[in-house]
Structure 1
Amino acid sequence: MADADTLRVVVAPDSFKGSASASDAAEWIAEGIQSVIIDCDIEHIPMADGGEGTSALFSGEMITLPTTDAAGHLTEASYVYNAEEETAYIDVSAASGLPAVKDNPVPLTGDTYGTGVLIADAQTRGARRIVLGLGGSATIDGGTGILVALGANPLDADGHPLRHGGGALGDLDSFDTAKVNIPAASVEWVLLADSEFPVTGQQGAAHVFGPQKGASPEEVEKVDAALAHLCEVTGVDPEQPGYGAAGGIAVGITWLSRLMHGTTDHVHVVSGARTVASAQGLKEKIAEANFVVTGEGKYDGQSTAGKVASVVTELAEGTNATVAILSGSFESEVPEGVLAVEIGEQTDDVRAQLVRAGAQAAVDYLNTSTAQG
């Protein structure tokens, strides 16, 4: 136990996509802080919001198997299976993530079939609950790729299978359910949304996330209309918060679960960052801290809608802790009283960048504390 006068620091960053895991980021930021504030009680709490690296924060066996990426190419992906909990922790980004197709984006044709392969595998190992991280996907398919992997095939009005991806969903008429994988379709679903956006509209999956997945303005409008049609056919309310995450995956899963159980009681769409924070006991640890440091690759309009930085800041409200956000760039204003430390564009030495940013955050904190007396 630290002395009462010892500065208590909590370092709780997200991963920095493609360059640093949340665990590495926390370690390197903490190193920078301790180079300035040598005598402090510092705790690393790696965070995630449902995107890359979420499943790795839960305990269990790491399972790796062949599957397909968003473009349908063979790949390998991993997930965490906890046999005692009969729960699989799966990131959509593992198989269906953006990095694998960044050079050739697939906004209209990309699908989540590869994620469905992981889900089916987890069920055969005994999983009765799937915790699915809805972040970092390259797809806008409403979860229909997962449905195909689980045996529910979307058809057009002539009874022909639809082409892969969200671009074809405007032609959806019905689903062929004759070969549904009933055990896999009947699991309990916990969907960790990395945002609170709905399925359709100007704040929906296509408009908000489509451009970063390679969609042109015309393609954004096409997919938005296609997702609206999917919601109409499946009877899912497109305005539900969080249902726009990962290209509307919750839509397909909600329809499938209702088909199995007659209700939507077995689907839980929750905040990924808040769920991880709760599992880590972050609220209680922040309550005892003087200084809290979080971070993410880019702080923008999406950051305030359920991303890690906004959740950490929210948990610190009403406490005595000063919060610092480290980010590669700031495209939105941080809340009043929050320190903003810009890391800059990613270099080959991300560790050095994060160590420097941690040191700068510590300097800014000490300057603020001195100014406040």
Structure 2
Amino acid sequence: MTRITPENPASCPTIVIAPDAFKSTATAQQAAQWLSDGVASVTPHAHVITSPMADGGEGTSALFDGELITLPTTDAAGRLTEASYTFDAASATAYIDVAAASGLPKVADHPVATTGDTFGTGVLIADAETRGARRIVMGLGGSATVDGGTGILVALGVNPLNSAGYSLNPGGAALIDLADFDTAKVNIPAASVDWVLLADALVPATGPDGAAAVFGPQKGASEADVDALDRALARLCEVTGVDGSTPGFGAAGAIPVGLHWLSRLLHGNDDHVQVLPGAQVVAEASGLAARLAGADFVITGEGRCDSQTAKGKVVSVVIDAARRSDANPAVAVVSGEFRAPLPEGVTAVTLDELGDDVGVQEQLTRAGARAAEAYLRISTAQG
């Protein structure tokens, strides 16, 4: 293996490592560290800067400063579980991932696309308000539900009703019978917070590119289920008066629909809810642009690069930021699988298939080393 040494000053680069989490196998922090270990084996004298990233999915809240709060709640299937979020008392802000309580991994043994709800996430929100939170920054990626946020509404004291005045069953499919909401017991302090919703994909709530159609199958929905869920979300939009075609409102099974309706009910306007591209927000909060300003080489990555990657995922945001940087660093993407082409000039590094006895740490460490080797070849060729 060629090693980069300090004898040649040009061979001591600044390398920024900014990956997303590798779904359920490595957090963004772990991925950044293990890639860095691999880089160090090839470039021991390089200046390596790790900048873990997220796009609103699992692990987003952990990237923000604050106290880690863990409490009992329920998963998307209504079973008892524990979940954590980050609370920053100084800014009265709680950083909550929908995936923490209502995520897919917790119900992998029992998919609940039509019946699962976000009640457990609502429990975290209510708890955060009691600690002084006046602003909720919510990562919307990785949810197991398509309930339009109605589980959260129930946890905050809002009861969805059918035309006979009876409470609806949990889950998105039941919303086809939605007629009204009982708000007599709404938790006003928790419901009236400011919401910053971090979407990992700016899809609409309904239609062929909506929440049910795009993400329903990943959550265990059949073709018939997708159709039923789409019609149910359309009914939710009709009752709430929310435009289901709004980009981002389909994130996390259309949670923004329910929260926009609730916030408008209490404030009389839509000024207290924002839906933003999650990776962009994390990039700005972490100072990624400043870190790239002096970079020679950038490594990013995610578990799988596919057609969704270019639509605001971490990899695309990091590549775009590198391209906008005056430093114009070389870029490599590490992934377990590439199902879509990368932009021209970006190096793809596929994780090695090393067998069941080799963990993801070794895979990412080796990938970091191979990315550094690729950079060495590029920089040598360019003189």
TM-score, normalised by the number of residues in structure 2: 0.94
Q: Verify: 1:358 aligned to 2:368, yes or no.
A: yes
- The 5-angstrom pairing of residues 153-302 of structure 1 reads 153-302=159-308
**Which amino acid in the other structure matches residue 361 of structure 2?**
R
2:38 to 17, 20, 32: 32
SS at match of 1:317: helix
- The 5-angstrom pairing of residues 15-94 of structure 1 reads 15-94=21-100
Q: Verify: 1:340 aligned to 2:331, yes or no.
A: no
SS at match of 1:66: strand
Contact 1:197–1:305 (8 Å) recurs in 2: no
**Which amino acid in the other structure matches residue 272 of structure 1?**
G
SS at match of 1:340: strand
Partners of 2:254 and 2:352 lie apart in 1 by 32
2:3 alignment partner in structure 1: none
Question: Quick check: 250-259 or 363-372, which moved more?
Answer: 363-372
**Which amino acid in the other structure matches residue 302 of structure 1?**
Q
TM-score, normalised by the number of residues in structure 1: 0.97
Contact 1:205–1:248 (8 Å) recurs in 2: yes
Contact 1:327–1:344 (8 Å) recurs in 2: no
- The 5-angstrom pairing of residues 86-125 of structure 1 reads 86-125=92-131
Partners of 1:295 and 1:206 lie apart in 2 by 27
Partners of 1:67 and 1:117 lie apart in 2 by 6
**Where do 5+ consecutive residues of structure 1 fail to align?**
none
Which segments of structure 1 move beyond 3 Å, counting only runs of 4 or more? 2-6, 344-348
- Provide, for residues 243-280 of structure 1, a one-character-per-residue CA deviation record: whole Å limited to 9, x for no partner: 11111101000000000000010001111111111111
**Which amino acid in the other structure matches residue 23 of structure 1?**
Q
- Provide, for residues 294-318 of structure 1, a one-character-per-residue CA deviation record: whole Å limited to 9, x for no partner: 1111111111111111110111113
Partners of 1:228 and 1:283 lie apart in 2 by 39
Partners of 1:175 and 1:114 lie apart in 2 by 19
1:324 alignment partner in structure 2: 332
Count matched residues. 372
- Provide, for residues 97-152 of structure 1, a one-character-per-residue CA deviation record: whole Å limited to 9, x for no partner: 10011111000000000000000010011110011110111001010000000011
- Provide, for residues 136-184 of structure 1, a one-character-per-residue CA deviation record: whole Å limited to 9, x for no partner: 1100101000000001111111111111111111111111111100000
Change (3 A) 1:261 1:4: farther
1:140 to 134, 138, 146: 146
Root-mean-square deviation over aligned CA pairs: 1.5
SS at match of 2:30: helix
SS at match of 1:200: coil
Partners of 2:324 and 2:267 lie apart in 1 by 42
Superposition deviation, residue 38 in structure 1: 2.2
